[in-house]
Amino acid sequence: MNPRIVAIRAGVQRGRIEFRQTATSPGEILGWLWMPLIALVVMYVLSDTAVPGTDFSLGSQAVPGILAMNVVFSALLGLAAVLTMDRGDGTLLRAKATPNGMLGYLTGRVLSRAALSVLMLLIVLIPSAFIFEGLQLGSAVAWLRLAWVLALGLVATLPVGAVLGAVFSGPQGLSLVSFLVMGLSAISGVFYPIAALPEWLQWIAQVFPLYWLGLGMRSALLPEAVVVAEIGESWRTVEMIGVLGVWVVIGFTLAPMVLRRMARRESGSNLEARRQRAMSSMG
């Protein structure tokens, strides 16, 4: 059989094993969930406030945005973090020493991160359905729309995560990125409709996938009437697909180049040098 197909199949097995390892580790799951959980609590407190121009609860309105933020954290930052860690402990070098191992490794990591992102979305969404009123979870259409928006969001954010994980060699770089994502969350209409922000901030937010993923999730989960709070009083589905599609193209163009460069540089002595640096920075 074609060696690359064999490697992709092994990668699927790898993804299953890694998913099981993370999904059965409460500490790790909580590590990715505390932010959305805190956000939900805050929004619950704001349940009685109405979205401007409607009588819809601001708390409920924020749930889809929090889900989108959670996807960006668990998929984009999550993949970047595991790539950095796997370089530090030699997992990546092991993949390089195995025939077609890099292909299998990446397949596994991408699939397990995608599956974990879906799992974490459900962990946040299902309790929210009971706590927050007005989410359209009764209809199959809403779930279907949620599913494809989520799929598009994952395909747009995972390759970017791989690029960041390959570019940054240590946790410092990644903390910077997660700081930026938090800042982006503040201006991307996650908690409050973006129309309330100055126009230049709106433009910045609309460059990045987080705003569009949140918009798509709102279009799936919120009643039609709430659309008046959005820019142009529209869910702008075509624009959403367009911008996320551009991110898909950017990610899939950059990721192979950057990952190849990362793989080429991997060697035992580089690994040892990183280990020494890590030890001396701890000491």
Interface residues with another protein (CB under 8 A)? 1-3, 6-7, 9-10, 13-14, 17, 21, 86, 89-91, 93-94, 96-101, 104, 266-269, 271-272, 275
Torsion of CA 157, 158, 161, 162, to 10 degrees: -150
Least distance in angstroms from the C-beta of 2 to another protein: 7
Tell me the C-alpha distance between 97 and 4, whole Å. 15
Residue 36 C-alpha from the chain's centroid: 12
Residue closer to another protein by CB (options 13, 49) is 13
Residue closer to another protein by CB (options 2, 280) is 2
Tell me the C-alpha distance between 121 and 78, whole Å. 14
- Residue 243: what are its φ and ψ, rounded to 5°? -65, -45
Least distance in angstroms from the C-beta of 94 to another protein: 5
User: CB–CB of 248/256 below 8 Å?
Assistant: no
Least distance in angstroms from the C-beta of 23 to another protein: 12
Least distance in angstroms from the C-beta of 27 to another protein: 12
Residue closer to another protein by CB (options 89, 133) is 89
Residue closer to another protein by CB (options 165, 189) is 165
Least distance in angstroms from the C-beta of 83 to another protein: 13
- Residue 50: what are its φ and ψ, rounded to 5°? -100, 150
Least distance in angstroms from the C-beta of 253 to another protein: 24
User: CB–CB of 80/162 below 8 Å?
Assistant: yes
Q: Please report, for residues 7, 20, 105, 108, 255, the alpha-carbon distance to residue 11 in angstroms, rounded to integers and kept in the order given.
A: 6, 14, 6, 4, 18
Residue type, 54: T
Residue closer to another protein by CB (options 12, 50) is 12
Residue closer to another protein by CB (options 13, 139) is 13
